[in-house]
Amino acid sequence: MNIKGRHYRTIWLKENNPETVQIINQLALPFKFEILDLRTCEDTANAIRDMYVRGAGLIGATAAYGMYLTSLVSGDESFNDNLKCAALLLKNTRPTASNLAWAVDRMYSMLSCHTGTPAQKREAARFEARAIADEDADFCRRIGQHGLEIIKKISQKKQGREVNILTHCNAGWLAFVDYGSALSPVYAAHDGGIKVHVWVDETRPRNQGASLTAWELAQHGVSHDLIPDNAGGHLMQHEMVDLVITGADRVTRQGDAANKIGTYLKALAAKENNVPFYVALPSSTFDFKMKDGVKEIPIEERDSSEVRYITGITKEGKTETVRICPEATSARNWGFDVTPAKLITGLVSERGTCEACEKGILSLYPEKD
């Protein structure tokens, strides 16, 4: 993604200092663009837990770099023990997204079997973490090309008129290393000259749609409007939505998809109004060990303060956090819900588009049969 003419990824090794990882501070957006340094595994764990970075692919890449940073401070005798501790720390930060555990396990498996010196292991860790980040970006680029075909068909059916796309939360480049999942096809369509317009759910309680999706769409010059979370059904009833695309944090082998809380309601509205509902994801988001998403996917419950308080910017340009409910009011804050496969028109991954069912998924990933 280009910001003021300069290309950025969401995470990278600091130039001339490969022992420091740099990230875009997503808590500061959209009011301030800020880069933070991560120097230890604890730094990466805190960044994931406190959502300085967020999104399925990005937290996976961040965790991989956390394992790399662990290797830098591990001697020969303590190397594997330190990796085990780091892996446990990172996996416990956020339980719902499968990408995080996938990346940690990939790093640990490679390093625990490495027979070289600590210096060689550190170099291998750096190489593997960067490979995970590069792979995430490339897979998202390919998701964009496959999803573009869906948007092209709708555009042709509308004889070139604007294609209205609704998305929920942020599954753009800020949620991955680059390009994004749900928004990657949107960017590909926009860059290819197709008229697209995005309805951006605000995505309570953390407002990732309002603060992140709207910001990056504006950076890319894509037409969009911010809407209240509850407006999606109304728009679909009045034929103002041609397509719904969301991301996912975990998808089972039978096609059930966990995504930001509120996604399930959008899928129900789409089904009722015959609006195609697609989920875009890289292969690292699949959990082939799980079948029933509603019963098996762990759903993170976050601190109630995210519901009770909201952060914004005043007329004077000062960022402030204010309470929006009575002081004595308690709150619950589930971060995700699960959309059953029967409500999903199709899944878009780096290997192509398939039906949201075990047979469809295995047609793209036969090695998982």
Q: Which residues are known to be catalytic?
A: 249
Residue labelled with tokens 């340094």: 37
Between helix 56-72 and helix 41-49 the angle, nearest 10°, is 160
> Got the DSSP string for 334-368?
B-EEEE-GGG-SEEEETTEEE-SSHHHHHHH-GGG
216-157-140 Cα angle (round to 5): 35
- Pure H helices in 113-255: 118-157, 184-191, 208, 214-220, 232-237
No. of helices (H) and no. of strands (E), the chain: 13, 18
CA atoms of 297 and 318, how far apart (whole Å): 39
> Got the DSSP string for 237-275?
HTT--SEEEE--SEEETT--EEEETTHHHHHHHHHHTT-
Assess contact for 228 and 210: CB atoms under 8 A: no
Assess contact for 252 and 289: CB atoms under 8 A: no
- What the block records as the tokens of 160 is 């070139």
On the CB side of 37, CA atoms within 13 Å amount to 7
CA atoms of 124 and 130, how far apart (whole Å): 10
CA atoms of 327 and 308, how far apart (whole Å): 9
Assess contact for 175 and 51: CB atoms under 8 A: no
Q: Edge to edge, what strands does the sheet with 346-349 contain?
A: 223-227, 196-201, 163-167, 243-246, 277-280, 346-349, 352-354
